[in-house]
Copies of this chain bind each other. A is one copy, B any other.
Amino acid sequence: MTNSIAYDDVLENFKKLLKSNNLKYTTQRELILKIIYDNDGHFTPEDIYNLIKESYPEVKLGIATVYRTLTLLEDAEIVSSISFGTQGKKYEFGLKKHHDHLVCMKCGNIEEFYDETIEKRQEEIAKKFNFEMHNHVMKITGICSVCQAKR
Residues of chain A having any CB pair with chain B under 8 Å: 81, 83-86, 88-89, 102, 104-105, 111, 113, 115, 117-118, 121-122, 125-126, 129-145, 148
B89 touches A81 (CB 8 A): no
Given contacts A117-B117, A126-B140, 7 further A-B contacts (CB under 8 A): A86-B89, A113-B129, A121-B121, A122-B140, A125-B140, A138-B138, A138-B139
Q: A83-B84, A83-B85 are in contact. Are A113 and B125 (CB under 8 A)?
A: yes
Q: Could you list some 15 contacts between A and B, CB below 8 A?
A: A115-B121, A121-B121, A122-B140, A129-B144, A130-B145, A130-B148, A131-B142, A131-B144, A132-B144, A134-B141, A135-B141, A136-B139, A136-B140, A137-B141, A138-B139
Residues in B with CB closer than 8 Å to A133 are 140-142
Residues of B within 8 Å of A131, CB to CB, are 102, 104, 111, 140, 142-145
Given contacts A111-B129, A142-B135, contact A121 B118 (CB under 8 A): yes
CA–CA, A11 and B42, complex, Å: 41
- In angstroms, Cα B135 to Cα A85, docked, is 15
Chain B residues in 8 Å Cβ range of A134: 105, 141-143
CA distance A109 to B142 in the complex (A): 28
* Across-interface contacts of A102 in B (CB, < 8 A): 125-126, 129, 131
